[in-house]
Amino acid sequence: MDATYDAWAGPTVGDLGELAVLDRIVRRLPAGTPVLGPGDDCAVVSAPDGRFVVTTDMMVHGPDFRWAWSSPEDVGWKAVATNLSDVAAMGAVPTGLVIALAAPQGTPVAVLESFADGVRVAVDALAPTCGVVGGDLSTSATFTVSVTAFGDLEGRAPVVRSGARPGDVLAVSGELGAAARGLTRLFREGVDEHGEPSRAAAVASGADGDPDVARQRRPVPPIADGPLAAGAGATAMLDLSDGLAIDAGRLARASGVTLSLEADLDDIALHGGEDHGLLATFPADSALPGGFRRIGVVRDRSEAYLVHGTTPVPTTGWDPYADWDGAAG
């Protein structure tokens, strides 16, 4: 086991109480540059554009992560990355995070400290001008994280899902299918003889060192490509959180168009989620910015929202209500 798993030793949150726990966490978090940071009832952040984008996302032990497969630092990273990608998908630059944690009473304080370390390293790597400006602590039978992220449009119009037009180029930035391949391998090889998630089994099988497993634990969304896409005239954009097919269907429905795929993509690239890349449409004469690459074109609305050639592609992917039954939580 790696060193981060030492986080499961030492005094618990119940032993120390909220004030001491909060002090240990806050000192590890990236501060950013708010007008007024943590310590009062609200933070004060600037909005130079006069507008800001805001998004929120939850991560719950069981459907969203497993301690058997992820360290607390991994979970901190992932909680940040999944929210920053939503900000980028609007064409904005991330500026602030508010993080709420609910942990069982017996959770070692070091787990929360390691989680905070994951937040810090993720912000440093993905959005170094961003910071944590506030949050909350509570207790729950299930470890739960809620992150709210803010972003600055810097004078640009937000890039929404409803702007795609026939003739636009369909493009993607970031990996497709890596996180889903990693999760598939963990469910196949990272389990014990009873079918329960097992870090030891993941290590023994080699799954623990798989680059796809690393992407499942710590997605690397192309944050900088969001503002670049906005500057290049992107007509529509969204974060690929639940899988290319289901998210493409969302964009097509919002825009009233059909998306026609030209790239040959396997099932896991189409329907696997949690890569947190960006899907965008651009005018046909645009030079694609950053890491964007063409995968198709926007067509007039037909019977299907997503097609490959003339073949309809099911717009399905991750659905927490349809795909999660709590059996392995």
In the chain, where the domains are located: 3-152, 161-175+220-320, 180-217
Ligand-binding site membership of 55 (annotated) = yes
Q: Which residues pair with 237 in a beta bridge?
A: 280
Identify the burial level of 1 via C-beta atoms within 10 angstroms of its C-beta, where 0-12 means exposed, 13-18 middle and 19 or more buried.
exposed
The predicted-structure confidence for 107-142, as pLDDT tens digits, reads as follows 999 999 999 999 999 999 999 999 999 889 999 999
Q: Is position 41 annotated in a ligand binding site?
A: yes
Is the pLDDT at 35 greater than 50? The verdict is yes
In this prediction, residues 166-179 reach a mean pLDDT of 97
Alpha-carbon dihedral sign for residues 174, 179, 180, 182: positive
Q: What is the pLDDT of residue 2?
A: 47
Q: Is 77 annotated as a binding residue?
A: no
239 appears as a binding residue in the annotation: yes
Q: Looking at residue 189, what is its pLDDT?
A: 96
* pLDDT of 31: 67
Tokens 């798993």: give the residue: 5
HSE toward the beta carbon, residue 168, CA cutoff 13 A: 26
pLDDT for residue 329: 31
Confirm or deny that 2 is annotated as ligand binding.
no
241 is in an annotated binding site: yes
**Over the chain, what is the mean pLDDT?**
90
Pick from 2-16, 42-56, 286-300: least confident: 2-16
For domain 161-175+220-320, the CATH architecture is Alpha-Beta Complex (3.90)
| 64 labelled ligand-binding | yes
Q: Please give the C-alpha separations between residue 5 and each of 8, 9, 86, 190, in angstroms, as whole numbers.
A: 6, 8, 30, 17
Please say whether the dihedral angle defined by the alpha carbons of residues 199, 204, 209 and 213, taken in this order, is positive or negative: negative
pLDDT value at residue 42:
73
Max Cα distance, the chain (Å): 62
Residue 276 · residue 247 · CB < 8 Å: no
The response to whether 161 counts as a known ligand-binding position is: yes
Predicted confidence band of residue 24 (pLDDT cuts 50, 70, 90): confident
Rounding to the nearest 10 degrees, give the CA dihedral for residues 320, 326, 328, 329. Answer: 90
Q: Do domains 3-152 and 161-175+220-320 have the same CATH topology?
A: no
DSSP element (H, E) containing 116: helix 109-126
pLDDT tens by residue, 258-298: 999 998 999 999 999 899 999 999 999 999 999 999 999 99
Rounded to two decimals, the pTM is 0.89
**Which fold would CATH assign to domain 3-152?**
60s Ribosomal Protein L30; Chain: A; (3.30.1330)
- 49-88 pLDDT, tens digit per residue, is 888 999 999 999 998 999 999 999 999 999 999 999 999 9
163 and 170 Cβ atoms separated by less than 8 Å: no
Q: Is 86 annotated as a binding residue?
A: yes
Residue 27 CB contacts under 8 Å (≥ 6 apart), including other chains:
none
Rounded Cα distance, 14 and 1, in Å: 26
